[in-house]
Structure 1
Amino acid sequence: MKALKDILYKVHINSVTGSTNIPVNELHFDSRKVSPDDVFVAVRGYVSDGHEYIEKAAESGAVAIICESMPDQIINGVTYVEVDDTHEALAIMASNFYDNPSKNLKLVGVTGTNGKTTITTLLYQLFKKAGYKVGLLSTVKIMADEEEYKATHTTPDSLTINKYLSLMNETGVEFCFMEVSSHGIHQKRTEGLEFVGGIFTNLTHDHLDYHKTFKEYLDVKKSYFDKLPKNAFALTNIDDKNGLVMIQNTKAKKYTYALKSYADYKAQILENQIGGLYLKIDDNEVWTRLIGTFNAYNLLAIYAAANLLGLEKLEVLRLLSELESVSGRFQYFVSEGKITAIVDYSHTPDALKNAMETVNSIRTGNEEFIAVVGCGGDRDKGKRPVMGNIASTLSTKAIFTSDNPRTEDPQVIIDEMEKGVEPQNFKKTLSIVDRKQAIKAACQMANANDIILIAGKGHETYQEINGKRIDFDDMKTVKELLKELNK
């Protein structure tokens, strides 16, 4: 057991009531999990405030309470520590509790609106192929070298992050690649972690239900780079208009990558087709299995990061050619009837536009391009008409359907998507609330050589409807339907 005073190392403390020279068993920010000799950190959440459960935590045996304001009732034998920010305190305490595991490996964070999952997962793949023990903290899954664990958030809470980093230490992991979301940065989940590098992909319209303004969203992302240490690297996409803004105040060593601009790491697309991408990177040519301009950016970021982490450039190029697409990220298959079905996680306007433009770039123009698109409920409503416009403009037929409606009426969400459809595209759109029926309609419409894009859910194997998670897998569904229809 560790002493409370050791776990509080580097936490900004305003006042203490009681002793900090006491042994503690576990840290918790959920009062329901508190047992005797645990510490309860009262975190102000998006839905509830942990300060309301301080008394309950003490009754459950908590020996210490970390809070932003002292409760009215002080219980004898319980230590109360007042801090300015319990999110930050929790992250630092979690790192101390697990013996600062990020210091014992090379941790690289990837942030941006799109590309985080692909870059982190493919970096994990690449370094595994290079013979290293590697960790992964992503939206899709958590990996401690060969062991796989289920992921619940893009950036887990700070206790979970440090728990898995500690597990990676035990398994001898040398490199770890981590998705860093704007929510995670804003909620201080990455405080106390020691990064050797940070990668910025792009910044587009997303999460404005949470951040309220684009400037706040940008500033939160930028704050991650502001805190990188001087011995780390900051790698940014300067084809994005916010690329240089991200690194303008960082102490880390600055590096750039681009397809269109002069940069430290430069790539050119030589061929882009359904079978993959043929790229020229730093005057060397490489064939990869991934498709689309957005994946050219992802691959270039991977190449640059691997090189900055010490791998030889030619070795990295060889490994790039062996990488396979990430689950739900422009993942495709061709049916027996020669219909190409693509499943993609594109749930933002920019991601959807990228995916659809990629399909159009590899089409001959003679095929039908059918897009099945939905928008999530209880999330940023402003992007719904925008995505409706993109889907109806860039396809030959757009089917609007449910994504994860959550607590909203799915028909209302679809109605808001339809508001973005321009008059000349009305006849190209169709609305089917049931997602399986929408995919079935797309399969029935498609003929040989046609392309179906199913966007929005990607790797997710469920739908959230009225508070319940219902099993649903886009890729499994479209494969079954095309086989059933013998197409």
Structure 2
Amino acid sequence: MMILKDILYKVPLLAVVGSTGVSINNIVFDSRKVSKNDVFVAIKGTVVDGHDFIQTAIDQGCAAVVCENTPDKLTENVVYVEVTNTSSALAIMASNFYGVPSANLKLVGVTGTNGKTTIATLLYQLFKNAGYKVGLLSTVKIMVDDYEFKTSHTTPDSLTINKYLKQMNDAGVEFCFMEVSSHGIHQKRTEGLDFKGGVFTNLSHDHLDYHSSFAEYRDVKKAFFDGLSKDAFAVVNADDKNGMVMLQNSVAKKHTYALKSYADYKAHILENQFTGLLLKINDSEVWTRLIGSFNAYNVLAIYATAELLGLEKVEILRLISELKSVSGRFQYIISKEKITAIVDYAHTPDALKNVLETINSIRTKNEELITVVGCGGDRDRTKRPKMGHIASALSTKVVFTSDNPRTENPDEIVKEVEAGVEPQNYKKTVSITDRKQAIKAACQMANPNDIILIAGKGHETYQDINGERIDFDDLKIVQELLKQLEK
């Protein structure tokens, strides 16, 4: 148990009815999970407003309510705390409740449209290989040193974040790397966290179903850097025009990385093959098994972050050479027939363009590049024709298909993707809504030495169709289908 006054430390209060000296068992923001002596935080969500469930929480025994609008009818012996923003209050309360765990380790946030998972995961891998106890909060999984937990959001809710950070404290974790999504920043899930550093990758077309404009999306990302302390570092991609925007109001120590521009951390690609990259970082050469120019940026961000966290340059280069690719990010297999199948999470126009340009820069042009791609339902519709345009312009053949249609009609999504294909590329494309059949068609089209790219889902092992998650793993399916063709 904890005293409410201590949980509310550093939360700006507008009004209090009752005594903040009451003992509290837990902090809860879902009224269905309230138990006796909990504090219920009423969050205004995009679909549901927690203020509508204050009475339900009280009926279930909560001792206190934190809200933005104090109800007209007050219940005796219940403490009411009014604040400006309950999402922000929840984040600070969660940190206090778990003993401000982010202050007891070196927490680095990675934000941007593409590359977050790769950079956070590879930093976890690099520091583990260096002999440290490390934590990871990513889209794919949460790691408390060696213990793995599954996750469903890029940035979990603030209670979950602090719960895992406390577990990391208990396990003696020294460094933690965390993906920070625009949703997470906007919903104040990262407020109250003590970040030792922030990394900005890039900004491109994504999440405009959630953010009203690209400018809002950019400014939400910028808010993360605005919130860093003067003791933290900010390292940004100077080749992205938004990189310097992130640093404008930040009081953190500012650093840049780039392949094309002047920067503190500069890299040149010396060799680019399907087996990996040979890079020159500042004055040193390093070989990495990661593939493509987009991974050159990721490696550079990792190098900069590791050095800013105190690792020696020579050791960082050795550790980079040992890194293994992240699940669903440019994962590839080669069949007995010498057909290369690549599975990649590329689900934004920019990411798809990066992957296709990478493949085109490596291949000899004697092979076909067959791309299987779709777009998710209930998400930003404006990117669909762009995905169709990029896939058809940069591939020799394209199969448009279903991704995670969610509650939308997959045939309609495919039509919107097809709308971006220019007339000269019509003959390259075919549409097969069933994703397995689309992958099968690509395998049947492929001849020895051809390349198949299956884009959009990467590490995901399901398809989301009308609220139901159906088992679906692109890598496993293409492996099976290529094996069948060998018979």
TM-score by length of 2: 0.99
Question: Which residues in structure 2 correspond to 1:282-361 (within 5 Å)?
Answer: 282-361=282-361
Provide the secondary structure at the position in 1 that maps to 2:47.
Answer: coil
Q: Distance in 1 between matches of 2:402 and 2:124?
A: 32
1:214 is matched with: 214
1:278-301 CA-partner distances (Å, limit 9, x unpaired): 111111111110100000000000
Deviation at 1:19, TM superposition (A): 1.3
Percent of residue pairs identical = 74
Deviation at 1:73, TM superposition (A): 2.1
1:335-361 CA-partner distances (Å, limit 9, x unpaired): 121111111111100000001111111
What amino acid does structure 2 have at the position aligned with 1:182? Answer: S
What amino acid does structure 1 have at the position aligned with 2:435? Answer: R
Q: Distance in 1 between matches of 2:213 and 2:420?
A: 21
1:248 is matched with: 248
1:423 is matched with: 423
Q: Distance in 1 between matches of 2:336 and 2:128?
A: 34
2:178 is matched with: 178
2:143 is matched with: 143
Deviation at 1:72, TM superposition (A): 2.7
Matched, 1:279 2:279: yes
Q: Distance in 2 between matches of 1:240 and 1:200?
A: 9
Q: Distance in 1 between matches of 2:292 and 2:73?
A: 60
2:97 is matched with: 97
1:417-476 CA-partner distances (Å, limit 9, x unpaired): 011000010010010111011011111111111111110011111111011111111111
1:245-302 CA-partner distances (Å, limit 9, x unpaired): 1111100000000001111001000010111001111111111101000000000000
1:123 is matched with: 123
Q: In structure 2, list runs of 5 or more residues that go unmatched.
A: none
2:88 is matched with: 88
Q: Distance in 2 between matches of 1:72 and 1:348?
A: 47
Question: Which residues in structure 2 correspond to 1:433-452 (within 5 Å)?
Answer: 433-452=433-452
Question: Which residues in structure 2 correspond to 1:261-280 (within 5 Å)?
Answer: 261-280=261-280
Provide the secondary structure at the position in 2 that maps to 1:57.
Answer: helix
1:392 is matched with: 392
1:194 is matched with: 194
Q: In structure 1, list runs of 5 or more residues that go unmatched.
A: none
Q: Distance in 2 between matches of 1:359 and 1:118?
A: 18
**119-128 vs 70-79, greater mean Cα deviation:** 70-79
What amino acid does structure 1 have at the position aligned with 2:63? Answer: V
TM-score by length of 1: 0.99
Deviation at 1:47, TM superposition (A): 1.1
Q: Distance in 2 between matches of 1:136 and 1:336?
A: 37
Question: Which residues in structure 2 correspond to 1:454-469 (within 5 Å)?
Answer: 454-469=454-469
Q: How many residues are aligned here?
A: 487
2:407 is matched with: 407
1:180-230 CA-partner distances (Å, limit 9, x unpaired): 000000000000000000000000011111111010011100011011000
Q: Distance in 2 between matches of 1:447 and 1:17?
A: 74
What amino acid does structure 1 have at the position aligned with 2:167? Answer: L
Provide the secondary structure at the position in 1 that maps to 2:236.
Answer: strand
Which stretches of structure 1, 4 residues or longer, exceed 3 Å deviation after superposition? none
Q: Distance in 2 between matches of 1:307 and 1:249?
A: 24
